[in-house]
Amino acid sequence: MKILAIESSCDETAAAVVEDGRKLLCGKVASQIDIHALYGGVVPEIASRAHTEAISGVVSEALAGADLSLEDIDLIAVTYAPGLIGALLTGVSFAKGLAYSSGKPLIPVHHIRGHVAANYLVHPDLEPPFIALVVSGGHTSLMRANSYTDYELIGCARDDAAGEAFDKCARVLGLPYPGGAAMDRLASAGDKTKYRFNAGSIDGSDYDFTFSGLKTAVINLVHGETQRGRVIDDEFRADVAASFTASLVGAVTSRLELLLTREGAQNIVLAGGVAANSHLRLALKNSAEKFGAKLYLPPLSLCGDNAAMIGAQAYYEYLSGAKAGLDLNAYATKTV
Ligand code: KG4
Ligand code: ZN
């Protein structure tokens, strides 16, 4: 079954052709990063307009790259939630038009489930049930996948997502948006014991995350040092990045280890843009080893937003009977 998938929930316009949820035939991503970098973050209205300009070309490129035409496609899939509402609506409207004009079924896909499904494209043995940890620019969620389409939320970010904290700390250190990857490289060169940051926890909620205090602590440190006349050089950046990353990664691994202590070893799936972080990947490998759990990591190419992951999840949504009509709407927030 060949699926044409569309993703436009944030600042990447993406299209892909995926076969049977497991094989990527072609994936294309048009990134808007250069546009949003001018403003230090994503500007929603600009994102919607940029999606509108790019979407038709990206879809054509994905079909051409797979050496297929629309007639060869069995299903049209689209991210319908969560994300920036105007950005989502661009993809949803385009997919609806395509499904209507071609007479093909339209499959709605939840973005977070999609991130997890990126792993199906590279791990043929991976099947639910498993524990899913999605760490991205907009989301930090610890979930239980009981089946391909039955997710239970165990814990999530109560304020800023991990990627948001990475990007804002990068910005105060003078790095261009999105600064997550640059923070990753800097952290490798820094001293993680230099600054004592504390990612903190939520009273009465063992598995939820809070990263806004950590982000504020970094911003206050940098502002304080600047006011004292300190020049923000690479050594300072590296030490801050290393200390920040150690705190954030510690918060993620401690939640996961608590779960494994209480519930025993099980399969763990990491996903999302921040899943590309080398320090997080290493720490989770160590945690999994310690508890005898099996860890599945997405390849770096499928960590950030893409449509291949939406096509992978769409196959299982279709098998479970999910099908949208032309009244499909987009939702800025929606539980997994
Ligand atoms: O999944 P994604 O593309 O978008 C959302 O669904 O939110 O994630 C983007 C986020 C950005 O915050 C970016 O800075 C972060 O992923 N990111 C990283 C790394 N690569 C991308 N964060 C830390 N380390 C990285 N290597
Ligand atoms: Zn995402």
Asked if residue 271 and residue 162 are part of one domain, the reply reads: yes
Number of domains in the chain: 2
Asked if residue 170 and residue 249 are part of one domain, the reply reads: yes
Q: Please indicate whether residue 7, judged by its CB atom, sits closer than 6 Å to ligand 1.
A: no
Asked if residue 101 and residue 147 are part of one domain, the reply reads: no
Has residue 156 been placed in a domain? yes
Closest CA to 187 of 198, 175, 200: 175
Q: Residue 107's domain spans which residues?
A: 2-117+302-319
Has residue 159 been placed in a domain? yes
Has residue 72 been placed in a domain? yes
Q: Please indicate whether residue 274, judged by its CB atom, sits closer than 6 Å to ligand 1.
A: yes
Asked if residue 184 and residue 141 are part of one domain, the reply reads: yes
Q: Determine the distance separating the centroid of ligand 1 and the alpha carbon of 280, expressed in angstroms.
A: 12
Query: Tokens 């763990």 — which residue?
Result: 268
Q: Please indicate whether residue 10, judged by its CB atom, sits closer than 6 Å to ligand 1.
A: yes
Has residue 147 been placed in a domain? yes
Asked if residue 156 and residue 39 are part of one domain, the reply reads: no
Asked if residue 211 and residue 173 are part of one domain, the reply reads: yes
Has residue 331 been placed in a domain? no
Asked if residue 283 and residue 143 are part of one domain, the reply reads: yes
Q: How far apart are CA 79 and CA 89, in angstroms?
A: 9
Has residue 228 been placed in a domain? yes
Residue 200 pLDDT: 87
Q: What is the DSSP string of 189-256?
A: HS-TTSS------BTTBTT-B--HHHHHHHHHHHHHHHHTT----HHHHHHHHHHHHHHHHHHHHHHH
CATH number, domain containing residue 48: 3.30.420.40
Averages of pLDDT over runs of 10 residues in the chain (336 residues) are 98 98 98 94 97 98 98 98 98 98 98 98 98 96 98 97 97 96 98 95 95 98 97 97 98 98 96 98 98 98 98 99 98 96
pTM over 0.85: yes
Asked if residue 221 and residue 160 are part of one domain, the reply reads: yes
Q: Determine the distance separating the centroid of ligand 2 and the alpha carbon of 79, expressed in angstroms.
A: 10
Asked if residue 292 and residue 171 are part of one domain, the reply reads: yes
Has residue 324 been placed in a domain? no
Q: Determine the distance separating the centroid of ligand 1 and the alpha carbon of 138, expressed in angstroms.
A: 9
Residue 250 pLDDT: 98
Has residue 15 been placed in a domain? yes
Q: How far apart are CA 207 and CA 153, in angstroms?
A: 10
Asked if residue 41 and residue 108 are part of one domain, the reply reads: yes
Structure token digits, residue 8: 């436009």
Asked if residue 289 and residue 309 are part of one domain, the reply reads: no
